[in-house]
Amino acid sequence: MGRRSPAVPGGGRMRHAVAFTVQDAIHAAGTSIICAMILSIAEHHAGPHADANATHRANAASCHSVHHIDERVALDSGESKQRDVSRCSSCALRNLCLPPELSSDDIEQFHQVVSTKRLVRRGDALHRCDDPFRHIFAIKTGSFKTVTVLRDGREQVTGFYLPGDALGLDGVCSDRHRWDAIALEDSLVCTVSFARLEAFCHRQPVMQRHLHRMLSGEIVRESGLSVWLGTMNAAERVAAFLLNLSKRFAVRGYSPNEFQLRMTRAEMGSYLGLKLETVSRILSGFSRAGLVDTQGRNIRILDAAALAAV
């Protein structure tokens, strides 16, 4: 898991890596090769205890209902799904979801692929491990974590997701989801029928190429997580995690230097392979060294260059 690090950042050089996020889609062409890669990566992260998820599903099946909403009004859980009233063409996250080459008419056609919007309350599941795979989900607002449950009942966090990221692609290979996707806050997602998405890609090769490029980037990011866990010490992992979040917020038009961590320190530690106490000690060390200012979950990066040099 790498050598232990002192709380105060040292002078070691941070190796460049990127966070594990699932924000991709895939066309049917080449599925067998890519699925094998995804399954291999998923099995690596799940470890030998992944079979415990089946029992966990049965225990959790009755919990955490998902509510559906349109753009303006959250519906009661008993009401039927409503057709989305907003347009993909006017979405602020359009450039994260769609290739820039798509024309306005093409985007309007793609809008028909987006069947509903769904509001997922904080702590509720968007999907559970072993749920049938039928849709992928584009996050419009809010954030999620993906987790697998180990045999002893502990949760292992496998990823964090922000607006513009896609969830659900873990189900492509086996037609069932491999992770739980849990909302870290009240979150709004666009539901995309995977069958309709594949049909759209048949008609729009530019979309197919875009999704393949995204999937290729996802494989690189998966490898980056292995680098984090295999070669970085504890302080380097926390520094890389904060810098990666900073970059992801900047791409979305948010401040790269001031942001709020939606995950707990325990969840961050689970993702990075560190104990809660280690994460807290390192963040305190960064604060004393003048690299960051921490107020609860609020993070302000004071010296990004020094943080990158940890």
The domain limits of the chain are: 31-222, 234-308
Is the pLDDT reported for residue 74 higher than 70? Answer: no
Residue with the bigger pLDDT between 52 and 92: it is 92
pLDDT at 221: 67
Residue 126 token pair: 């968007």
For residue 296, give every residue at least 6 positions away whose Cβ sits within 8 Å of its Cβ, in sequence order, or none: none
148 strand-pairing partners: 156
C-alpha span between 3 and 12 (Å, rounded): 12
* Mean pLDDT in residue range 40-44: 43
Could you tell me which residue, 59 or 133, shows the higher pLDDT? 133
Contacts of 263 (CB under 8 A, 6+ apart): 143, 145, 157, 160, 184, 271
Q: What pLDDT shows up at residue 271?
A: 93
Instruction: Determine the pLDDT at residue 43.
Output: 44
Q: Which residue did the predictor score with more confidence, 64 or 292? A: 292
Average pLDDT over residues 52-76: 40
pLDDT band at 90 (very low <50, low <70, confident <90, very high): low
Average pLDDT rounded to a whole number, residues 263-276 = 96
pLDDT greater than 90 at residue 48:
no
Q: What is the pLDDT of residue 310?
A: 94
pLDDT digits (tens, 9 = 90+) for 229-253: 888 999 999 999 999 999 999 988 8
pLDDT at residue 67, rounded to an integer: 39
Predicted local confidence at residue 151, as pLDDT:
87
Residue 9: the pLDDT is 38
Assess whether pLDDT exceeds 60 at residue 285.
yes
**pLDDT for residue 260 is more than 90:** yes
The CATH architecture annotation of domain 31-222 reads Sandwich (2.60)
How far apart are the C-alpha atoms of 49 and 55, rounded to whole Å?
A: 12
Query: What is the rounded CA–CA span in Å between residue 132 and residue 91?
Result: 28
Residues 157-214 have pLDDT tens digits of: 989 999 988 888 888 888 999 899 999 999 999 888 888 888 888 888 888 887 777 6
Taking only Cα atoms into account, the Rg of the chain, rounded to an integer number of angstroms, comes to 20
Residue 34 to residue 162: CA distance in whole angstroms: 24
Helices (DSSP H) in the chain: which residue ranges? Answer: 31-46, 52-60, 94-97, 104-111, 194-203, 205-231, 234-251, 265-272, 276-288, 304-308
Copy the structure tokens of residue 174.
């086996």
Widest pairwise Cα distance in the chain:
57
Specify the 3-state DSSP secondary structure of 241.
Answer: helix
- What's the whole-number mean pLDDT along residues 252-275? 95
CA dist list (Å): 236 to 5, 6, 285, 301: 8, 10, 12, 15
pLDDT exceeds 90 at position 96: no
Look up tokens 């609020």; give the residue: 298
**What is the mean pLDDT of the segment spanning 55-61?**
42
Residues 6+ apart with CB under 8 A from 293: 287, 299, 300, 302
**CA 153/CA 130 separation, integer angstroms:** 17
Per-residue pLDDT, 55: 43
Per-residue model confidence (pLDDT) at position 86: 52
Residue 184's pLDDT is what?
A: 98
At residue 52, does pLDDT exceed 80? no
> How far is the C-alpha of 23 from the C-alpha of 28, rounded, in Å?
17
Give the pLDDT confidence of 109-128 residue by residue, as tens digits: 777 777 678 999 999 999 99
CATH number of the 234-308 domain: 1.10.10.10
Whether the pLDDT of residue 39 is over 60: the answer is no
First to last CA, the chain: 18
User: Is the pLDDT confidence value at 274 over 90?
Assistant: yes
Picking from 5, 9, 14, 15, the residue whose alpha carbon sits closest to that of residue 286 is: 9
Q: How far is CA 106 from the centre of its chain?
A: 27
Is residue 183 within 8 A of residue 126, CB to CB? The reply is yes
Query: pLDDT band for position 150 (50/70/90)?
Result: confident
